[in-house]
Amino acid sequence: MVYDREEMLRRLEEEQKTGRQLLRSGGARRPIVDLDDLVVVPSKAITQGPREIGTDVSIGLERYTQHPLHLEVPIYIADMSYGEIGRSAKAALALGAALAGTMVLCGHGQVLTEEREATDDNDGRLVAKWSQGRFGNDIANLEFCHGVCIDMSASHAVLVPTDISTKEVSEAFGIPRGFQADLPTTHLDIKGEDDLKLHIDLLREALDYKVPVLVKFSGGEVYEKVRTAVEAGADAIVLESMRAWRARTTEAEAEHSGEPLLGMMPPAMKAFVDTKAKSKGVKLLVQGGRTSGADVFKALALGADAVGLDIAALIGIGCKLAGVCHTGKCPQGVATIDPKLEAKINVREAGEHLYNLINAMTDEAVHLAGYAGLGHLSGATMKNLRALTYDAAAITGVRLLGFDRSLPMWVH
Amino acid sequence: MAEEKVPPTSKEINKAIRSYADANKKSVSIDRIKNNNHIAVGLDKPVKVTIERGPAGDFFGALNAGATLIMNGNAGRFVGSTMSAGEIRVNGDVGEGLGVYISGGLVMVKGDCSGSVGGRMKGGVILVDGDVKGEVGESMVDGEIYVTGDVTGTIGGDLRGGRIFVAGKMPELHDNVKVRPLGTKELEAVKDYNGRFKFRKFQTQEALNDFRLIEKS
């Protein structure tokens, strides 16, 4: 699909010269059916908004977890890895999240010293990644964190190319110097559906049933994936849509793989209903390109419990959308591990800016909740939404504006 | 070594082991487990855990970070997965995925293994005193794997680094790896391991010359 002639020309000329796919950064940029195709409406003819609207969410309640994750807001920081972004950027994300009373899903590799300090000093919460590459996944790193997320998403990414890798990257990833940190698509020790339960139980046993275990998926077979994870005993499911930010990706991956959030929610919610997941305390987290409190409210209304920020969080700490993350030469010092560029980030200042941003987005979502007549953000439902387009109504089952009913394929 | 009777579930067995380790006890012995998964996982204290009779289920000793674990009997899949330090010895056969993702420590099996031995390992040592019915060293980054017997599957598929030593029969190697006889230092290392673990297949020191080294070409 041609959506940007200049971009297309640049890409094809580069590929013509090199014979290789052109690297780029970011998620899907082309117009796809998304949360902007929905609007918020009151759920009753007469509503009276309460003065205070609750925003908190807990992960791990009513399950096997001694220390559930309590988030003061239904917004968290999505997983971004060292090497994709720098030490200062990671520290600023940890600080901003901690100040806002929420969590960071860690990227690949060990938790950095700067992240530990920002988290420890401000009562923060980090969730370790248990990925297909198993980078830096020793027990000490897992025990430091407040949760662990089994990454089952299918991205095949070059996390840190050899030409920009450093001794620090090798140490964080637990690989020899000079090796490229690239991500395999499968876990060698998860061979079938039953093995996911074995992994959840393994992490519970290894961490002495102290912290929640999350499972993350990207698009495709969403119903089956979510159902499997809930039945396997996950405390929360994380769904990543095709708008998710990546430091290094290709046109094919970013624009033509994965699913938009709107397409993932209905099968995920059907799996939740079929497995009685909500009554078991299982939470649904969604992430990938969300940039506003309106996004947050609409995602919650579609059934999510919390929303992860990626590019918005990077903007919160100083990103100016230069679009050069894949080169490792971010002029703002965010998507780089070059010490000179990284030095442009003042961690305290950037963390406070991110804290402000999370507060502002929470306020936006709360404002919409008040408009919809809710007492808590978790009370948002599809009744609080209308679809502006036929496609959005057909994909989600949200009532089509004007028609004011769900489309016939959703009426059972 | 005092023999302790412990309850049968994995959670209870692990709780008992952890309480001994946290109390800085040097060793704990478990009389019997019956296919329990996740036994002795995530231990970061230098405690010695001996299981007198098995079999163990899957993920025995996974995420080990300093303990010495001895299993007298067979074990299931993914023994020592994602281990970073310590030692695991299994006196019996094990399932697939022995030592996948390990980054340090030593895993020793006196018996046969199914495939996926040492897949994506980033460090440490795996010793198999027996045959491997499947792949060895898939996408391995660093570390060493020793197999005294035969290997039936691919050796070093997508090998990035590290070294694989095989003494028995092996299939035709792919172009990404090369094979050569052992040098003096490498032979010394094999002899040291033989002295320590008494490989079943090698009754004489000369027989150790059967080992060949497979590494990235």
A133 interaction partners in chain B (CB closer than 8 Å): 120
Subunit contact B78:A176, Cβ cutoff 8 A: no
Residue A174 to residue B59, Cβ atoms within 8 A:
no
In chain B, helix, strand, coil percent, each to 5?
15, 30, 55
Question: Contact, A32 vs A260, CB < 8 A?
Answer: yes
The CA distances from residue B2 to A290, B33, B151, in Å, are 58, 17, 39
- Asked if A176 lies within 8 A of B141 by C-beta distance, the reply is yes
- pLDDT tens, position by position, A32-70: 999 999 999 987 666 665 568 999 999 997 677 899 999
Band (pLDDT 50/70/90 cuts) for residue B1 is: low
Is the model's pLDDT at A5 over the cut of 80? yes
The pLDDT tens digits for A282-322 are 999 999 999 999 999 999 999 999 999 999 999 999 999 99
Residue of A272, A249, A256 whose CA lies nearest to A220: A256
Query: CA–CA separation, A251 vs A4, rounded Å?
Result: 12
- A207 in contact with B, Cβ within 8 Å: yes
Q: How many CB pairs under 8 A join A and B?
A: 84
The CA distance from A361 to A284, in Å, is 19
Q: Which among B58, B63, B120 is the nearest to A198, CB-wise?
A: B58
Chain centroid, CA A387 distance in Å:
24
Residues A165, A169, A174, A176, Cα dihedral to 10°: 30
Backbone φ and ψ for A30, nearest 5 degrees, come out as -75, 160
Number of Cβ within 10 Å of residue A132's Cβ equals 23
Distance between CA atoms of A16 and A274, rounded to whole angstroms?
50
Identify the pLDDT of residue B122: 95
Average pLDDT of the segment spanning A68-93? 96
Q: Is the pLDDT of residue A216 over 50?
A: yes
Question: B136: which chain A residues are within 8 Å (Cβ-Cβ)?
Answer: none
Interface test with B, best of A138, A199, A213 (most B CBs within 10 A): A138
Query: Which residues of chain B have a CB within 8 Å of the CB of A186?
Result: none
Q: What was the ipTM of the complex prediction? A: 0.93
Closest-approach residue (CA) in chain A for B98: A189
Contact between residue B190 and residue B210 where contact means Cβ atoms under 8 Å apart: no
Displacement of CA B128 from its chain's centroid (Å): 7
Residue to substitute from A110, A137, A139, interface B, most B β-carbons within 10 A:
A139
